[in-house]
């Protein structure tokens, strides 16, 4: 009798198994991406070490490419497998190298706030376009990534200049403060364009549980 009453109660309530406790939250995914800002100062040091001061086309192209490789690798590592390293890293290197070459040439390697912001915007637009091409096919409105990176690179150089970093040293990329801001905002943009979908079996669709799925009573 008790079993019959229990079965009727379960059938009427039509319980749902909800595996949401196993779903990675947006916050954890965004915080992991935020850790990637550490790649930016490392990339700047590596680019400057290999290419030298940002004072001529050769240093801009080589230093920018090295910088792009380091940033690209860092972003892949914190992307939760959303980005393909075989595509993302090479295109990041190409985009950053060509972008920095074009951006620094436009401002004639100047280091005023306005010049660095403009250089960042041009660099970011070329880099963002290359990375937008590298986004997976399921990414939506990928062109927003190109515009977003352009704005964020300008922001990164602006913040770096305002906090008093020695920009006259002509590094290949902006500093940690600018990197943290750019990474935080790019994480929000990436979530909009390319939400995290774990591998099959991690996120499970909810299924209805009725008396028929409980087996014999």
Residues of the chain with pLDDT > 70, as a percent, come to 79
Question: What are the φ/ψ torsions at residue 78 (nearest 5 degrees)?
Answer: -105, 15
Alpha-carbon gap, residue 55 to 61, rounded angstroms = 11
How confident is the prediction for the chain on average, in pLDDT? 84
Distances (CA, A) of 49 to 70, 90, 96: 13, 20, 16
pLDDT digits (tens, 9 = 90+) for 118-167: 999 999 999 999 999 999 988 889 999 999 999 999 999 999 999 999 99
Is-contact 77 36, C-beta < 8 A?
Answer: yes
At 13-39, the pLDDT tens digits run 333 333 333 445 788 889 999 999 999
Is the CB of residue 69 less than 8 Å from the CB of residue 97? no
Asked whether residue 8 is domain-assigned, the answer is no
Q: What is the pTM of this model?
A: 0.79
**204-214: per-residue pLDDT in tens?**
333 444 444 44
Is the pLDDT reported for residue 215 higher than 90? no
Residue 149 placed within a domain: yes
DSSP secondary structure code for residue 109 in this structure: T
- Confidence at 1, pLDDT banded by 50, 70, 90: low
In a domain, 199, yes or no: no
Q: Is residue 184 part of a domain?
A: yes
Percent share of the chain, pLDDT over 90: 71
Quick one: pLDDT at residue 200? 33
Res. 82: pLDDT tops 50: yes
Rounded to an integer, the average pLDDT of 91-114 is 97
Residue 50 lies in a domain: yes
**Structural domain harbouring 130:** 26-194
H or E stretch covering 145: helix 143-162
Q: Is residue 200 part of a domain?
A: no
Q: What total number of domains does the chain contain?
A: 1
Rounded average pLDDT over 8-16: 38
The per-residue pLDDT for 69 is 97
Cα–Cα distances in Å, from 90 out to 59, 128, 139, 147, 186?
18, 13, 19, 20, 19
Q: Kindly state whether residue 134 falls inside one of the protein's structural domains.
A: yes
**pLDDT confidence band for 6 (50 / 70 / 90):** very low
**pLDDT value at position 198?**
65
Q: Does residue 113 fall inside a structural domain?
A: yes
């Amino acid at each position: 009798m008790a079993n019959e009453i229990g079965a009727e109660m379960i059938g009427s309530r039509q319980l749902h198994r909800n595996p949401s406790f196993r779903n990675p939250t947006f916050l954890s995914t965004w915080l992991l991406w935020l850790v990637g800002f550490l790649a930016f100062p490392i990339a700047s040091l590596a680019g400057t070490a290999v290419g030298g001061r940002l004072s001529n086309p050769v240093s801009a192209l080589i230093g920018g490419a090295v910088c792009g490789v380091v940033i690209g690798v860092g972003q892949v590592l914190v992307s939760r497998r959303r980005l393909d390293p075989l595509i993302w890293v090479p295109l990041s290197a190409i985009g950053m190298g060509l972008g920095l070459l074009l951006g620094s040439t436009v401002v004639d390697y100047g280091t005023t706030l306005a010049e660095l912001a403009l250089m960042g915007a041009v660099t970011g637009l070329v880099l963002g376009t290359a990375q937008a091409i590298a986004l997976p096919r399921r990414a939506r409105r990928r062109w927003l990534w190109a515009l977003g990176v352009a704005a964020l690179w300008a922001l990164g150089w602006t913040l770096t200049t305002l906090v008093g970093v020695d920009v006259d040293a002509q590094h290949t990329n902006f500093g940690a403060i600018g990197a943290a801001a750019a990474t935080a905002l790019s994480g929000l943009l990436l979530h909009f364009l390319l939400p995290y979908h774990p591998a099959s079996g991690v996120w499970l669709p909810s299924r209805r549980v009725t008396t028929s799925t409980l087996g014999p009573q």
